[in-house]
Every structure is written in structure tokens, then in C-alpha cells.
Amino acid sequence: MVNRTTPALFAAFPELEDYASSPLSRIEELIHSTGFYRNKARNIQGFARKVLQEHDGQIPETLEELTALPGVGRKTANVVLQELYDIPSGVVVDTHVARISNLFELTRSKNPVIIERDLMTVLPQKYWIDWSLYMIFLGRSSCTARKRHCEACVLGDICPSSSVRARKSEQK
């Protein structure tokens, strides 16, 4: 839904100043379909105002500064740092990353902050930026939440949770 909503939002507000000065109701109207639109609109406007006032209109380059902005948590901050500045500040943990990292037995937690910490201890930093993209792709293709397709997965032979691996172990 976000991908469907943002083109109209970006067309209506091409500059950071536009978000900061717009009537909140206009932002709400454009993002209504995303759900929780009132809170999101307040965060969008608060983010714009704070970046303009406290960072001279420049998106901060540290996790600490980004997470101090309205509506920005660790996941968003990590995405911003990775995409804008190519800074591997951590591992982006969404539902796919959390689920598959548990299947790979890289973590036992359901808490995104703990999962991120666990992944940062087992993954070399050079893989932090791409890890979530690979896991999202895997989570949308062969390792979906509703049904895993281990036989079609490139990692089926090595994944600890794979039905392919389990069958091979039984045959030995």
C-alpha cells in the first residue's frame, strides 16, 4: 500500500519544506489508505520540521540522530543509512528477516532488536546491508510464511529447518 500511496504524496510534496508547512489534514488525506494515517501524518510532518530545524534540512548520518526523529525506529534508520550513505550501521529486521533468521537458527528471538544484535554477531559487517534484501527475496519466493518450498530453495540442502535436509538425514 505504501508503494501505491507514495507517488501522489511525493508529487504533492516534492520538498521537505512542503511537508513541514502543509496542513496536517492534507498529508492525512494522501496517506489515509495506509492505515494509522493520523499518527503517520504527525510523524511525517514532525520529521520534516525537526530535520529542517535541527539538521539544516540534511538527513542525519548516525543511527542515534535518526532514531531521535519522529516516526524513525532502528529498522528505518538502518535503511536510511544504508541507502543514502552506504553505511552498514546494523541489519534491517522485518518480518521476513526475523522469520527466516529463526529458521536458519541464527537467533531464537522474536524481538527485532535482539534479532538484529544476534545477526550482527554472526554476520560479517560487509553483509549487513544486503542480508535483509536476500532474506526478503527468499521470504517472498521459496520460503513464504504460509508454506515453505524447501525443494525449490537454493538453501534447501543446508537450511536447518529444511524438509529436504530432513529427508536426506532420514535416508542415511
Arithmetic mean of pLDDT, 10-23: 97
62-93 residue pLDDT tens: 999 999 999 999 999 999 999 999 999 999 99
CATH number at residue 103: 1.10.1670.10
pLDDT at 165 over 90: no
Q: Which of 53-67, 80-94, 105-119, 140-154 has the lowest mean pLDDT?
A: 140-154
**111: region left, alpha or beta (phi > 0 left; psi from -120 to 50 alpha):** beta
Does 22 reside within a domain? yes
| Beta-bridge mates of residue 143 | 148
pLDDT at 4 over 70: yes
Average pLDDT, the chain: 94
Catalytic, 18? Answer no
What's the pTM?
Answer: 0.85
Residue 169 has a pLDDT of: 65
One domain for residues 19 and 73: yes
Domain tally, the chain: 2
Arithmetic mean of pLDDT, 146-161: 91
Domain boundary among 85, 116, 134: 85
Residue 168 has a pLDDT of: 67
33-44 residue pLDDT tens: 999 999 999 999
Q: Which of 94, 110, 118, 130 is catalytic?
A: 94
| Cα 93 to Cα 63: distance, rounded to the nearest angstrom | 15
| Residue 148 backbone dihedrals phi, psi, to 5 degrees | -85, 140
Catalytic, 75? Answer yes
Does 90 reside within a domain? no
Q: Which of 75, 110, 168, 172 is catalytic?
A: 75
Higher pLDDT, 2 or 110: 110
One domain for residues 7 and 81: yes
